[in-house]
Amino acid sequence: MKHDLPARACGIDFGTSNSTVGWLRPGQEPLIALEDDKITLPSVVFFNFEERRPVYGRLALHEYLEGYEGRLMRSLKSLLGSKLLKTETTVLGSAMPFKDILGLFLGQLKERAERLAGRPFEEVVLGRPVFFVDDDEKADQEAQDTLVEVAKKIGFKDVSFQYEPIAAAFDYERGIEREELVLIIDIGGGTSDFSLVRLAPERRQLDNRHSDILATGGVHVGGTDFDKQLSLASVMPLFGYGSRMKSAAFMPTSHHLNLATWHTINAVYAQKSQLALQSMRYDIVDTTGIDRLFKLIEQRAGHWLAMQVEESKIELTLAERRSLSLERIEPGLVAELSQTLLEEAIGPLLQRIESSVSRLLVDAGIRGEQIDTVFFTGGSSSVPALRNCITALLPNARQAEGNVFGSIGSGLAIEAKKRYG
């Protein structure tokens, strides 16, 4: 029978931090192991200068941290909808369009999935945030069109899309026993996306679920934004952020903002940036922080520092406090972090998320008390302050959560089987 055959198409969740590929097969879990036995491939490319080759995922991070000379690129999805996507960068000594770097990574997802499946994939359902770009329909459409172009260039012949939170809803629906009104909260690396969906066991097999999707919404705020604000609040002051100039003005912030943002870290290493910092040093009252910044730049430790901050954010979902050792930069240097500090740092971002969810409920004509379940997914959905601000809107909803990195990929695999057989 047709439903006992493996699906023709796969689903790809190209994430800001991690990516997955789902493929429905009888009797097996949907997600394909992409790196060793792990279902996620971190969305990272490292161009190894010594061996003149790109490496991906955990191996990319390992080679970078081991000190291989090269160029690390992460948060590639953040390029979609940005002006950078129409430009190029220098990689292994020659110019490469950012669009081609996206193609390298997506091609790697396709290649690994096909190798493990033992067959080619020509059709794909790609996940997409509700908004790649807030309040700009043209830029949002351009971002989706770019993904189509890249996907076809690497060999997919038919490319379609599903909203990421809708995909997560279909994954959650696999395990329910009665009808539920569910609010899907997907907090990814680059975006927060929400869907209000009516789910039921007897509706799983329906091809058209349009009437079950009551509302969708989202905002361009995600885990990398949390990391950035935590970095600026706790770590960057140790490197001169907020230093006073002799004129009593604050030191310009662009260098620290670049250093706290994954896809702009390399800008700090540019000669122009370093010369600007050196000329600025003479006008700073206390040079302790900027001198540490020079040490960090000399070691090209920006990505290392960003990883430490991200790890601290993850630990602060469970622990009240964390001491972050910066011994690599200076003996005895420590940044003290806490849940309270994280909550204060991301407070304005949480307000934007809360407003977006409130607006979605109004659009759907649904009161918060009517929601049966709030389903959390995405790598940053475990932040306590975020959960508190969402659950305060939904007093009767029970909390559920799926595989934080796998729900969307699984749901996209379900959608791919429905669309392509």
DSSP state of 28: S
Q: What are phi and psi of 52, to 5 degrees?
A: 50, 55
In a domain, 307, yes or no: yes
Looking at residue 204, its amino acid is R
d(CA 225, CA 228): 5
Q: State whether 157 and 59 are in the same domain.
A: yes
Q: Where are the alpha helices (DSSP H) in 249-327?
A: 254-259, 271-281, 288-299, 302-315
In a domain, 365, yes or no: no
Where residue 305 falls (left for φ over 0; alpha for ψ -120 to 50; beta otherwise) is alpha
In a domain, 260, yes or no: yes
In a domain, 343, yes or no: no
Span 294-321, average pLDDT: 94
In the predicted structure, residue 371 carries a pLDDT above the cut 80: yes
Q: State whether 254 and 110 are in the same domain.
A: no
Domain boundary among 280, 312, 333: 333
CB contact at 8 A, 403 and 410: yes
How many domains, the chain? Answer: 2
- Which segments within 49-191 are labelled E, that is strand? 53-56, 70-74, 88-91, 94-97, 123-128, 158-163, 180-187
CB contact at 8 A, 300 and 116: no
Q: State whether 235 and 157 are in the same domain.
A: no
d(CA 228, CA 16): 14
The CA distances from residue 320 to 186, 235, 338, 400, in Å, are 24, 17, 6, 23
E strand or H helix that includes residue 22: strand 18-22
Span 313-318, average pLDDT: 94
DSSP state of 194: E
The CA distances from residue 71 to 15, 36, 363, in Å, are 20, 23, 45
Q: State whether 248 and 310 are in the same domain.
A: yes
Q: State whether 171 and 229 are in the same domain.
A: no
d(CA 159, CA 79): 20
Q: How many residues does the chain have?
A: 421
Span 232-260, average pLDDT: 96
Q: State whether 153 and 245 are in the same domain.
A: no
Span 323-354, pLDDT tens digits = 999 999 999 999 999 999 999 999 999 999 99
Question: How confident is residue 135, by pLDDT bands cut at 50, 70 and 90?
Answer: confident
pLDDT at position 3: 54
pLDDT at position 341: 97
In a domain, 213, yes or no: no
Q: State whether 44 and 172 are in the same domain.
A: yes
Q: State whether 244 and 100 are in the same domain.
A: no
**Which tokens go with 49?**
């200068």
CB < 8 Å & 24+ apart, contacts of 365-369: 366/181, 366/196, 366/214, 366/215, 368/393, 368/394, 368/395, 368/397, 369/394, 369/395, 369/396
In a domain, 313, yes or no: yes
pLDDT at position 1: 35
Give the pairing type, strands 158-163 and 123-128.
Answer: parallel
pLDDT at position 104: 95
pLDDT at position 349: 97
Q: Which of 69, 67, 43 is nearest to 57 (CA)?
A: 43
Q: State whether 230 and 116 are in the same domain.
A: no
Looking at residue 155, its amino acid is G
CATH code, domain with 413 = 3.30.420.40
Q: State whether 16 and 143 are in the same domain.
A: yes
Residue 175, Cβ density class (10 Å: 0-12 exposed, 13-18 middle, ≥19 buried): exposed
Residues 6+ apart with CB under 8 A from 99: 85, 146, 149, 150
Which is higher by pLDDT, 231 or 96? 231
Q: Which of 112, 88, 120 is nearest to 102 (CA)?
A: 88
Which is higher by pLDDT, 82 or 282? 282
Domain boundary among 283, 312, 333: 333
CB contact at 8 A, 285 and 245: yes
In a domain, 194, yes or no: no
Q: State whether 411 and 287 are in the same domain.
A: no
Span 277-291, pLDDT tens digits = 999 999 999 999 999
Residue 215, beta-bridge partner list: 196
Residue 89, beta-bridge partner list: 96
Q: What percent of the chain has pLDDT over 90?
A: 76
d(CA 87, CA 178): 50
Q: Which of 405, 306, 386 is nearest to 342 (CA)?
A: 386
Question: How confident is residue 385, by pLDDT bands cut at 50, 70 and 90?
Answer: very high
Span 130-156, average pLDDT: 90
Structural domain of residue 285, as residue ranges? Answer: 224-333
In the predicted structure, residue 292 carries a pLDDT above the cut 60: yes
pLDDT at position 285: 96
In a domain, 193, yes or no: no
d(CA 340, CA 43): 29
Give the pairing type, strands 53-56 and 44-48.
Answer: antiparallel
In the predicted structure, residue 131 carries a pLDDT above the cut 70: yes
Span 252-260, average pLDDT: 95
Q: What are phi and psi of 256, to 5 degrees?
A: -70, -35
DSSP state of 17: S
Q: State whether 48 and 157 are in the same domain.
A: yes
In the predicted structure, residue 312 carries a pLDDT above the cut 80: yes
**71-88 residues labelled b (16+ CB within 10 A) or e (exposed):** bbbbbbbbbbbeeebeee
Domain boundary among 317, 333, 349: 333
Q: Which of 303, 390, 240 is nearest to 62 (CA)?
A: 303
